[in-house]
Structure 1
């Protein structure tokens, strides 16, 4: 058997806010399903991973990336399409994922690119109006899969807050998706085993393992909200505190306590009043704020509070 080569791919999770929703920049995969912008790294042509990433994201979507950070390297054996390169090489695919945030969510200039609501892929992650409508059926499927196994039941209860005393951890997006995949309850699990998709599989499927990469990106972003001021990378230059709270809720998938959120934001010192009012709220004019002067990239910058309504 010949020696297997390695092909390096680069995937981009680009997140923005549009119409009050956290959205991800997607293209169309070979199978017609949604895909993250993805391209191969050519060591003979590309000087760095990041430069290659920026070039193909622009080529595929017309969008120019701002700040990006590396997420994770996905190289598990048996990753789905893009599968091993056809022919005698049979390259193993390794993908390096990146996360990018932008406040410039204009319509992409290329027809196949679009902004897709992130929670369309993970509807069970939206708890702004209580438990998601699909959660009861998911829990039934997970418990049937557990078949009385104590370890599996403990994982289900912990990840989905399905037992008394358990609290929802909004940052565990990847862990929940991987449990659903293991239980065969998402479309990709059936696809990767060449089986028919399960009936009423929740969420939009994605090409390759892109929903897993997106879950990693969303989980990273949600976790960072608490200790880094990343939410401001999604905000316009000026904003109301209500708009800032709505953005936090859209990303975290939680309903936040209004007064506690505002008090927490004020304590951080991250925002300052502009002295101007916004009439765009449809009611009483609201005060406009902006990011306070200072370097938000330093280790001294804090995240925003997420005082969830329980």
Structure 2
């Protein structure tokens, strides 16, 4: 069996209410979104990163800013869904940040791409308004039933319960916003997301449409790649100033807080956040004001780039929940 190397990008942009992910329409006419993808051709590009940038920019006119490699994904399901006998697809996943402009917006429509709220794929991750009802209504009952299935012996059941407790912050364990991938993989193993049942159906077991509607499904293992990217970005903003790659050059502290809250999926105390940002010397005032906030004029700030030379890990060290 031959192996083909592909490159998938989770391209994230700042949205009005939540971070947005660039999604491509299902080429087969189905309802499942896909991530931007392109094969790696070593004859045309020297590195994976330059190849990925070229594919995304050619498809969408988006100029990618910050970019980093996430993980290599090569599960058997990728080959099966690709439908090509004798070839196994291995995809290198990337996290990329972008600031879309008007030109990019028109090109996206031509390419059959759109921006989607990343919580459409993983709705249980958004705690800005408190604990999502979906967790208690559907997720925990489903995981409890999975942990106690007849085929699971006592040791396996105990291990499953412990994994659920850690991943979803039960009992005395606090919710950890960085355990995004662990939570998705638990739901996959328990058959609570439609990708899991589609894979089992392809193996001759179960029905592909039997899952509860836990988030918007994606092609192949793309939702797993999205979960990996969200976890990485949530961790990254705590020790690197990558959030400013999503912000316009000038911004209010309210807009910055809303962006950090949207990424982390948690509400932050306004005064504590401002003390944190100003105390870390991550921003500096521009001297200008904006009246576009709908209330009193607000001061505009910009990222203080000198911090990159002054400190090895200049990020937003958010406290635990």
- Tell me the TM-score normalised to structure 2 length: 0.88
Of 219, 227, 232 in structure 2, the residue corresponding to residue 215 of structure 1 is 227
Following TM superposition, by how much is the alpha carbon of 1:186 offset from its aligned partner in structure 2, in angstroms?
0.4
Q: Provide the residue aligned with 1:158 in structure 2.
A: 166
Q: Deviations over 1:51-75 (max 9, x none)?
A: 2212221233232323311111112
Distance 2:210 2:106 in 1: 33
The separation in 2 between residues aligned to 1:211 and 1:108, in whole angstroms, is: 26
Pair 1:105–1:174, CA change in 2 (3 A): farther
Deviates more, 1:297-306 or 1:198-207: 297-306
2:108 aligns with: 110
| Cα 1:307–1:239 shift into 2, 3 Å | farther
- Gaps spanning 5+ residues in structure 2: where? 149-153, 202-206
The question of 1:13 aligning with 2:7 is answered no
* Residue 46 (structure 1) aligned with residue 45 (structure 2): yes
- Is contact 1:81-1:207 (8 Å) kept? no
Determine the C-alpha separation between the residues in 2 that align with 1:304 and 1:177. 25
Partners of 1:130 and 1:96 lie apart in 2 by: 34
Q: Distance in 1 between matches of 2:13 and 2:282?
A: 20
CA distance in 1, matches of 2:58, 2:158: 49
CA contact (8 A) 1:8 1:95 kept: yes
SS of match in other structure, 2:65: coil
User: Which of 224, 229, 233 matches 2:241?
Assistant: 229
2:144 maps to what in 1? 143
SS of the equivalent of 1:93 reads: strand
Tell me how far apart the structure 2 counterparts of residues 39 and 108 of structure 1 sit (CA, whole Å). Answer: 21
Alignment partner of 1:250 is 2:249: no
Report the equivalent of 1:274: 286
C-alpha offsets along residues 84-122 of structure 1, whole Å, 9 cap, x if unaligned?
Answer: 623xxx111110011111233652513211111101100
Quick one: distance in 1 between partners of 2:140 and 2:227? 19
For the residues of structure 2 that align with 1:121 and 1:80, how far apart are their CA atoms?
23
- Structure holding more helix per residue: 2
Q: 2:302 aligned to 257, 276, 290, which one?
A: 290
Matches within 5 A, 1:25-40: 25-31=22-28, 32=30, 33-40=32-39
* Separation in structure 2 between the aligned mates of residue 141 and residue 276 of structure 1, nearest angstrom: 52
**What is the root-mean-square deviation in Å for CA atoms of aligned residues?**
1.9
| Map of 1:119 onto structure 2 | 119
Q: For residues 160 and 20 of structure 2, what CA distance do their matches in structure 1 show? A: 32
Partner SS, residue 92 of structure 1: strand
Greater Cα shift, 26-35 or 43-52:
43-52
Q: CA deviation at 1:304?
A: 1.0
2:14, 2:20 within 8 Å by CA — same for their partners in 1? yes
Kindly state the Cα deviation for residue 204 of structure 1 after the two structures are TM-superposed: 0.5
When the two structures are superposed, what TM-score results if normalisation uses the length of structure 1? 0.91
In 2, distance between residues paired with 1:299 and 1:268?
Answer: 10
Please say if 1:75 is aligned against 2:74: yes
Equivalenced residues, count: 302
Report which stretch shifted further, 69-78 or 15-24: 69-78
CA–CA separation in structure 2 for the residues paired with 1:151 and 1:260: 38
Q: Distance in 1 between matches of 2:303 and 2:131?
A: 33
Name the residue aligned to 1:64. 63
Deviations 1:151-197 (CA, angstroms, capped at 9, x unpaired): 1011101100122x111111111111011000000010011112232
